[in-house]
Structure 1
């Protein structure tokens, strides 16, 4: 199969066997082991480990506490600490199950989903237009992309490479488990636009702070946030429709709960700032409903507008 030069190359490189990668190979072996551990045991272990992880992960938890204080000022400190613990538990539950797509069968993976709103995806697909799946950074975000690809939709997405070459290879190989194409964010939007015009659909996570350059400062949970206005631009260039979605880990189910919402109507409009704000409002509504599943450890408010120069994170 032809390899798109802009896409992440998932072919195996013999350099991945170098001794410097052996600790990562050990980590992948543990992922394989946990993939075969019964779900209820994994989830119970995550609940046991979460309080210790909160105590040890001081810097990430400091970021998370800042985010929670910004987004949920009405909650008491005790309530935010309880939310942080629940968030860490969800993160560990997802991490311990992260090897399932690679080391277990397709049937095993797909049996772990409970999906609502798939009819909205079918309606969007029937329109003949490409679909942009609008998805915030939830702990189980990779599993959301895998589910969509497993339904036979031609998918593409963007990601940041991580410094660990072996883990980068593993995670992107897994992201292509059911097909689809993964692009490094540094490749820009050109390959995404090309794919959308060729009948692909785009799995898009737009909520990170990528700096003030090229961003608009629009509200998110009442605080001005640097937000890339790429979504309305992509829609105008490709005639794509936007289907919001969210994935949460349900420890009662022992699997993933995915909700798809109806495609956005009258989007984009005439004003790019209004369209970008509408995107943030949709993400805000999703996060407010599933606050324990959001990646609060990312610096969403790192960039500040000129009239609000105060530091957000220590």
Structure 2
């Protein structure tokens, strides 16, 4: 594939470096980024050891990451024994911390390193769709190595586009966007709407879409999610139809023992879009539920997945039992 593709789009999201980033208020961010560079090259066993220590401390807190994960798991798996849920929380946080310590390597190491450390299963589903001349959107749940597959495909010359939500810290946002686009592609900010994203897919870009965050009651439909209900974006079917694209679900995993990545690509959702937005949203949630049967610790249970409740209550202050 050509390495000279023009990815410019005036509607794409492209944060620029600002001289204001050198101001004292950003020195802490710079220090953190500079420290993370040599730190990321430590052996995986060191990262995992530190991750376990940090997890043990976080697990004692009644607020924050562990608490949100406990609440989510309690609502999604109400019949699961408390110690089983605690095991998932612990493994989730160890996986997360180990991955984040190694995150800079995605930029600092080479394309070959990324390819050698990523195992992809089911890639033929994507390749066959492209050979048939079909547009493709990857349905990507929030797992810890969520960016890896998009970066791998981009490094191999595939035109990739995705939608992002900007961070509060503009320096961190600039650095993150530089990493995501180091091999090319386009980013579109969610506040700019989905039309530019759809147009890019119609123009031949492969979409990378993360649909499982809670965006509030006005933008969502309440559909089944494990044993509970979740405010779910119903736009996937609309995007698929408008872009005339097949929707291929993927599940990205990170092995905190080896530091390697695994991506499973599944056949296109069929039929999709379905007859209703509710059924479209349910199909997405069902895929996440199925993937969590074997590898629940890869999912970002620490997010406020269930923040929007139909009765308006806030569930993340609830006391959750940790022992039977």
Band of TM-score, shorter chain: over 0.9
Q: Is the 8 A contact 2:7 2:184 kept in 1?
A: no
- 2:140 matched residue in structure 1: 135
Q: Is the 8 A contact 1:40 1:254 kept in 2?
A: no
- 1:225 matched residue in structure 2: 230
Q: Is the 8 A contact 1:216 1:228 kept in 2?
A: yes
Q: Is the 8 A contact 1:134 1:204 kept in 2?
A: yes
- 1:301 matched residue in structure 2: 306
- 1:60 matched residue in structure 2: 65
TM-score (norm 1): 0.93
Q: Is the 8 A contact 1:196 1:238 kept in 2?
A: yes
- 1:238 matched residue in structure 2: 243
- 1:215 matched residue in structure 2: 220
* 3-state SS of paired residue (1:195): helix
Give the aligned length: 312
- 2:179 matched residue in structure 1: 174
Corresponding position: 1:87 with 2:92:
yes
- 1:273 matched residue in structure 2: 278
Q: What is the aligned-residue RMSD (CA, Å)? A: 1.8
Relative to structure 1, the CA distance from residue 122 to residue 3 in structure 2 (aligned partners, 3 Å threshold; closer, same or farther) is closer
Following the alignment from structure 2 to structure 1, what is the Cα–Cα distance between the partners of residues 251 and 296? 11
Q: Is the 8 A contact 1:36 1:104 kept in 2?
A: no
* 3-state SS of paired residue (1:58): coil
Q: Pick from 12, 18, 27 the counterpart of residue 17 of structure 2.
A: 12
Corresponding position: 1:312 with 2:315:
yes
Following the alignment from structure 2 to structure 1, what is the Cα–Cα distance between the partners of residues 138 and 62? 32
- 1:162 matched residue in structure 2: 167
Aligned pairs for 1:91-106 (under 5 A) are 91-106=96-111
Corresponding position: 1:287 with 2:292:
yes
Following the alignment from structure 1 to structure 2, what is the Cα–Cα distance between the partners of residues 132 and 287? 21
Relative to structure 1, the CA distance from residue 181 to residue 2 in structure 2 (aligned partners, 3 Å threshold; closer, same or farther) is closer
Following the alignment from structure 1 to structure 2, what is the Cα–Cα distance between the partners of residues 121 and 231? 18
TM-score (norm 2): 0.91
Shift of 1:2: 7.3
Following the alignment from structure 1 to structure 2, what is the Cα–Cα distance between the partners of residues 122 and 2? 21
Following the alignment from structure 1 to structure 2, what is the Cα–Cα distance between the partners of residues 55 and 168? 31
Following the alignment from structure 2 to structure 1, what is the Cα–Cα distance between the partners of residues 207 and 302? 25
Shift of 1:102: 2.0
Corresponding position: 1:77 with 2:90:
no
- 1:123 matched residue in structure 2: 128
CA deviation profile, 1:228-276 (whole Å, cap 9, x unmatched): 1111001111110011001111134321111111112221122222222
Corresponding position: 1:26 with 2:9:
no
Following the alignment from structure 2 to structure 1, what is the Cα–Cα distance between the partners of residues 62 and 195? 38
Q: Is the 8 A contact 1:137 1:294 kept in 2?
A: yes
- 2:116 matched residue in structure 1: 111
Aligned pairs for 1:138-153 (under 5 A) are 138-153=143-158
CA deviation profile, 1:152-211 (whole Å, cap 9, x unmatched): 221111111111111111111101121111111111101111101111111111011101
Shift of 1:310: 4.3
Higher mean alpha-carbon deviation, 140-149 vs 215-224, is at: 140-149
Relative to structure 1, the CA distance from residue 182 to residue 226 in structure 2 (aligned partners, 3 Å threshold; closer, same or farther) is same
* 3-state SS of paired residue (2:59): helix
Shift of 1:296: 0.8
Higher mean alpha-carbon deviation, 42-51 vs 139-148, is at: 42-51
